[in-house]
Amino acid sequence: MRRWIGPRLWVSATIVLIACQSQVDPEAEQNRRLVRQLLLEELRPVTLKNCSFKRFGSPNDGGYVMCENLNADVESAYSYGIGGNDDWGCEISSTYLMPVHQYDCFNLPLLACKGGQFVPHAECVGPRTEIIDSRPFDTISNQISKNGDAGKRLVVKMDVEGAEWESLLTTPDEVLERIDQLAMELHGVSEPRFLELVQKLKRNFFVVHIHFNNWACAGNVGPFPANVYQILLVNKRIGVVGTLEPVAVTARAYDAPDNPKGQDCQLPP
């Protein structure tokens, strides 16, 4: 979760949020809660027989849980949203000896990786090809194609502060099918398009892990404990389901709070 909003903008946004909360429409809030309930059910992970979990990247914020044994056949990696740190990309690249394409048009990805290979792109991901405030955006499909990776097996990390929803909604299933694992941070819980995206992704993927970001713990987004959270999706062509019954969403040994000094807010067992 990259926090680049300036303090004045943050205070202004907080004031607006408080003002809006004082005029909440009960029916609208009931609808939002229904979306949250349905979304959480869709996000409950299943158990895979063939997944060995390991945390890649930073020990706290910036680390992502993945199935380390399911990356062996991956040929290229994509890291969306850098923010001055890509420990995930460096560990993936150096461990599996493959290039990591980095995308960020706000914080230019000009990082070094000992033992690994970064391919930086000063470009953001979005639902279409466009320029916004002099910053270039392009689709996942186009970016993969331009890099010559259209036919390759991929692994993707995405943390793009809310741009993930529309970017992935416009990505064709045949492109998503090439991604072996998708580890990403999702921002938001109450909009119908969030539910639409998760249902779309589950056509190709199993949800196998979820962890809530304790920088964003909130008491007004129940049944979610936070409105920002990381999930791991594993492609159905490589994951072997142990049970289709949803497993309990609890923190495990490979999980860690994004804010090591803050109180955690995971779901109860």
Q: Is the CB of residue 71 less than 8 Å from the CB of residue 180?
A: yes
What distances in angstroms separate CA 92 from CA 27, 57, 88, 99, 182, one per listed residue? Answer: 46, 8, 6, 9, 13
Residue 208 CB coordination number (10 Å) = 23
Give the Cα separation of 139 and 172 in Å (integer).
11
79 pLDDT more than 70: yes
pLDDT digits (tens, 9 = 90+) for 206-233: 999 999 999 999 999 999 999 999 999 9
The SS3 assignment for 172 reads coil
Domain ranges (residues) in the chain:
49-243
**CATH dotted code for 49-243:** 3.40.50
**pTM of the complete model:** 0.89
Residue the block writes with tokens 């398009």: 193
Residue 249 reports pLDDT greater than 50: yes
